[in-house]
Structure 1
């Protein structure tokens, strides 16, 4: 019987906002790229050129045009930031999947990435360890009370219920759990409720986090209506927001 323990540490994050657009000149363990999706909808036909035939077919399978466009934008910009990070041509950027269906970059297995989107925002995370990012739009009409008992512990439910900003706290805790299972590659299962997400350090069974010994989770807001969390399987990592060029700059890049 495996009795090994792991540490899950959660807190809020003051993310350093970089004004640099030259991605390879920004030094950090983890880089976050915030995408305001509406700024790139006009580029979808151009961005589509960066996708493989299989990725194009995936985009075409979405029933809603906005979902298809969102996939195209996120996948093309993910390839763009990796190409810039590694000094490669964007045509060299392709992905494969592990046994747990988590994608990876076969040309550099030491580079890890994850993408999440909600509402009008997406975030790409790049780093040097396994990581997960989750973004949620705070929905004032969502009846989250219906699912509290199935995804949160009694202590977490009590904290949410007594919070001054109850709805925002729900989404903060939800994004933390989602980010953790994305980082570990386990996905949402019956153990989801047992993943601790209150602020502070928690000792848990290592099996709960797929054997990783350290999980750090940091919450941050994208704006008043969107919140996010980044989780990674290491500790004391430097995190920075990097800029993605504006649409007109990318238009030139993808048309070259």
Structure 2
């Protein structure tokens, strides 16, 4: 992909193909012509160039992946949304995908069959971590963070490690933040765990590659 710096992420045992893009090292003109008229209109509504640039690269790369992995032409890539706003391919509903943005990074995942979710956060100090934990974290999650990190910076990192897993799970569910984050618990030892959410079972894990902090989730087949 000339003009694009795309990193293929390690695939976890229960995971799916994922990619990481540093948009500051990519040329948006390479993929801008692949976007639909609706996507171009959405890109042009951004007031800031950096956000427009990131949006174009994310959606253009996604269309390249559809073409190169599945042989889908532009005409085959009609995208719709469910009633909660999660996008999907209208003609090929078996192809699942999800993307997440943070700062200059974009994370993309694709899968055939089971719904998926991904989430990414560039590390930063979370000044209101205590308030957010009270609102969105279970008691076990709060205890895990407080026991593992006593300092503010370390606590922020542990907070984000749980936050991205919770976000990936609710995105995989297709209902997004319609599901309260306290309804699922993502405390676990090791790389992966199972989560029960909204009547379904999900596998979720963190990609331990340093910064940025990334997580994935896949609904397991019944």
TM-score interval (norm. to shorter): 0.7 to 0.9
Could you tell me which residue of structure 2 aligns to residue 182 of structure 1? 171
Distance 1:91 1:62, change over 3 A: same
For residue 178 of structure 1, give the secondary structure of its aligned residue in structure 2.
helix
Does 2:105 correspond to 1:121?
yes
For residue 112 of structure 1, give the secondary structure of its aligned residue in structure 2.
strand
* Offset at residue 100 of structure 1 (A): 2.4
Does 2:218 correspond to 1:218?
no
Unpaired segments of 5 or more residues in structure 1? 1-14, 18-27, 236-256
Alignment of 1:66-145 (within 5 A): 66-90=50-74, 92-128=76-112, 129-140=114-125, 142-145=127-130
Conserved? CA contact 1:80–1:90, under 8 Å:
no
Deviation track 1:82-109 (CA, whole Å, cap 9, x = no partner) reads 1111123345423111222211112311
Distance 1:193 1:119, change over 3 A: same
Task: State the structure with more CA Rg.
Answer: 1
Conserved? CA contact 1:59–1:71, under 8 Å:
yes
* Offset at residue 145 of structure 1 (A): 2.1
User: Aligned partners of 2:100 and 2:64: how far apart in 1?
Assistant: 16
Conserved? CA contact 1:33–1:125, under 8 Å:
yes
TM-score using structure 1 length: 0.72
User: Aligned partners of 1:106 and 1:147: how far apart in 2?
Assistant: 36
User: Aligned partners of 1:232 and 1:47: how far apart in 2?
Assistant: 28
Q: Higher relative contact order by CA 8 Å / sep ≥ 6: 1 or 2?
A: 1
TM-score using structure 2 length: 0.83
Unpaired segments of 5 or more residues in structure 2? 1-8
Could you tell me which residue of structure 2 aligns to residue 150 of structure 1? 135
User: Aligned partners of 2:178 and 2:85: how far apart in 1?
Assistant: 15
Distance 1:202 1:110, change over 3 A: closer
For residue 104 of structure 1, give the secondary structure of its aligned residue in structure 2.
strand
* Offset at residue 141 of structure 1 (A): 5.6
Comparing 128-137 with 44-53, greater Cα deviation is found at 44-53
Q: 214, 217, 221: which one pairs with 1:231?
A: 217
